[in-house]
């Protein structure tokens, strides 16, 4: 099972949920094989669906800011 399948099974309505969250919003981000707490700070509807601009910290590393598909944000 990959990350997108895992998260999509847990959150079948992530596409519409991501579209309606107030910004910034506290979220969980699937990255590096685990869920990490983070912030949704932006979003965009692309031809492949909703994507969110998120900030999170992976372990003890520096903060990461990146665009992720809705299936990796809950």
The pLDDT tens digits for 20-74 are 899 999 999 999 999 999 999 999 998 888 999 999 998 888 899 999 999 999 9
pLDDT at 23: 96
Cα–Cα dist 26/38, whole Å? 6
In the sheet that holds 63-69, the strands lie side by side as 25-31, 34-46, 49-57, 63-69
Cα–Cα dist 70/68, whole Å? 6
Give the chain's domain count.
Answer: 1
Q: What is the pTM of this model?
A: 0.78
If you ran DSSP here, which 8-state letter would residue 9 be given? Answer: H
The boundaries of the domain holding residue 61 are 3-72
Cα–Cα dist 31/37, whole Å? 10
């Amino acid at each position: 099972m990959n990350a997108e399948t895992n998260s999509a099974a847990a959150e079948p309505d992530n596409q519409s949920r991501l579209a309606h969250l107030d910004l910034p919003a506290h979220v969980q981000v699937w990255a590096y094989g685990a869920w990490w707490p983070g912030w949704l700070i932006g979003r965009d509807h692309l031809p492949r669906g909703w994507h969110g601009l998120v900030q999170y910290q992976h372990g003890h590393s520096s903060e990461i800011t990146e665009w992720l598909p809705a299936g990796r944000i809950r």
